[in-house]
Amino acid sequence: MDFELSADQKMIVDSVASFVKKELPLERTRKLRDDELGYSREVWKQMGELGWLGIMHPEKSGGFGGRFVDAALMLEQFGAGLVPEPYAASAVVAGSALSLAGTDAQQERYLAPMIAGDATLAFAWAEADGRFDFTRSATVAEVTAGGYRVRGKKVWVLNGHAADQLILTARTEGRDGERAGMSMFVLEASEVVRTTVNCMDGQRAATIEVDCEIPRERLLGEAGGAADTIGRVLDLGSAAACAEGHGVMKAALAMTVEYLKTREQFGVKIGTFQVLQHRAVDMFIETELAKSVMLLAALEVESPVRVERERSVSAAKAQLAMSGRYVTQQAIQLHGGIGITDEADIGLYFKRMHVLTTLYGDEEHHVRRFAALPSFAAES
């Protein structure tokens, strides 16, 4: 398999890395931790103007018709710079729900403004008792004369505090000849009650409560038949977390190596101590290991074969949990006492990594899913 980047992909990486370095310094991210929104609408608009928000969406909606791997290359750079704008939550996850299941009219109304940077989206799927299983949904949608009555509560909705529209998953009951099962609906922000939640890494999420009637044209795809699409969307979210997480690991490793080269103890640079060099090498190995499975997941996450998609994504997400935890913990340790202070940038990477390893399924969830796949069982 060829992992070399194309000329266009190299240009994407260079342009995003340059923009993040010049326009989105870490000091900005620090200040936005105290901001009610948590990110900049102006920067979001710039991302739209640069074409970044539509890179993996269809051209008919204003996108570029690219692949997820192109978005993953950008997410690496966003992870390295701890960019707080909701690229993964809005452009990748919620946006993919619309591009996969939305009609042309729905994409024009809800997806196109997001791609242009004029709006943001959120994907509301997790529930308090769900444990990463989206089918365990207490949120229901009852058929009414004019559409659906949606009732329920969602938790940890990324960008849910600020999104203009929310893609909400709910269980339909299958009355009036419709199929029972999971469905997706588009809700306006004014139709939900949302409570902002401060996350460990300084970013924002929301708890969403809904009890309203919506018209039938807000249904995405087939009523009761959205389970496969929801699974694909959440796998894209997992793959996005892995790509961003690799960027976090690379940055944490680079910061730690630089610290070892400059920090002096007993009159010498601590990087000359062999035991610390070995720690840094171990961090490098874990970073490269996470990179290899992340790239595979980025290539396979759009596979039409469910087993191939789930196998690669779960392997990458479980590896991110192990490698990401090791690298950021070692980074804190090698920075010494200063590493645990809020003034030290390395702590921001440590916190972000702990969030990323949990999004869309933690290590235990993905190990169990991987083990349950037919390809894992030994052939007789």
Q: What does the pLDDT read at residue 380?
A: 43
Please, which pLDDT band fits residue 1 given cuts at 50, 70 and 90? low
Domain ranges, ordered by start, for the chain:
7-119, 124-224, 228-376
pLDDT digits (tens, 9 = 90+) for 115-140: 999 999 999 999 999 999 999 999 99
3-class secondary structure, 380: coil
3-class secondary structure, 149: strand
Please, which pLDDT band fits residue 379 given cuts at 50, 70 and 90? low
Q: Which of 83, 88, 91 is nearest to 112 (CA)?
A: 91
User: What does the chain come to in residues?
Assistant: 380
pLDDT mean across residues, the chain: 94
Q: What does the pLDDT read at residue 376?
A: 65
Please give the average per-residue pLDDT across 156-185, as a whole number.
90
Please give the average per-residue pLDDT across 350-355, as a whole number.
97
**Left (φ > 0), alpha (ψ -120 to 50) or beta: where does 57 sit?**
beta
pLDDT digits (tens, 9 = 90+) for 22-41: 999 999 999 999 999 999 99
Q: What does the pLDDT read at residue 8?
A: 87
The H-or-E segment that residue 42 falls in is helix 41-49
Tokens of 254: 């680079």
Tokens of 236: 């894209």
Is the pLDDT assigned to residue 378 strictly greater than 60? no
Say how far apart CA 197 and CA 167 lie, in whole Å: 18
Q: Which residue's entry shows tokens 């946006």?
A: 95
Q: What percent of the chain has pLDDT over 90?
A: 90
pLDDT digits (tens, 9 = 90+) for 188-201: 999 999 999 999 99
pLDDT digits (tens, 9 = 90+) for 253-286: 999 999 999 998 888 888 888 999 999 999 999 9
The third-level CATH classification (topology) of the domain covering 124-224 is: Butyryl-CoA Dehydrogenase, subunit A; domain 2 (2.40.110)
Report which DSSP code applies to 109: I
Q: What does the pLDDT read at residue 293?
A: 96
Pairing of strands 165-172, 140-143: parallel
Burial class (CB in 10 A: 0-12, 13-18, 19+), 274: exposed
Tokens of 45: 């608009």
The third-level CATH classification (topology) of the domain covering 7-119 is: Butyryl-Coa Dehydrogenase, subunit A; domain 1 (1.10.540)
Please give the average per-residue pLDDT across 38-55, as a whole number.
97
Q: What does the pLDDT read at residue 4?
A: 80
Where does the chain show beta strands of DSSP type E? Answer: 121-124, 140-143, 147-158, 165-172, 181-188, 192-198, 204-215, 219-220, 264-265, 268-269
Whether the predicted model's global pTM rises above the 0.85 cut: yes
Say how far apart CA 84 and CA 278 lie, in whole Å: 33
Q: What's the CATH number for 228-376?
A: 1.20.140.10
Q: What does the pLDDT read at residue 246?
A: 98
Say how far apart CA 329 and CA 132 lie, in whole Å: 25
Is the pLDDT assigned to residue 179 strictly greater than 80? no
Q: Which residues are CB-neighbours of 111 under 8 A, at least 6 positions away?
A: 57, 61, 62, 95, 98, 99, 102
pLDDT digits (tens, 9 = 90+) for 306-345: 999 999 999 999 999 999 999 999 999 999 989 999 999 9
Say how far apart CA 272 and CA 265 lie, in whole Å: 10
Question: Which neighbouring-strand residues pair with 218?
Answer: none
pLDDT digits (tens, 9 = 90+) for 201-210: 999 999 999 9
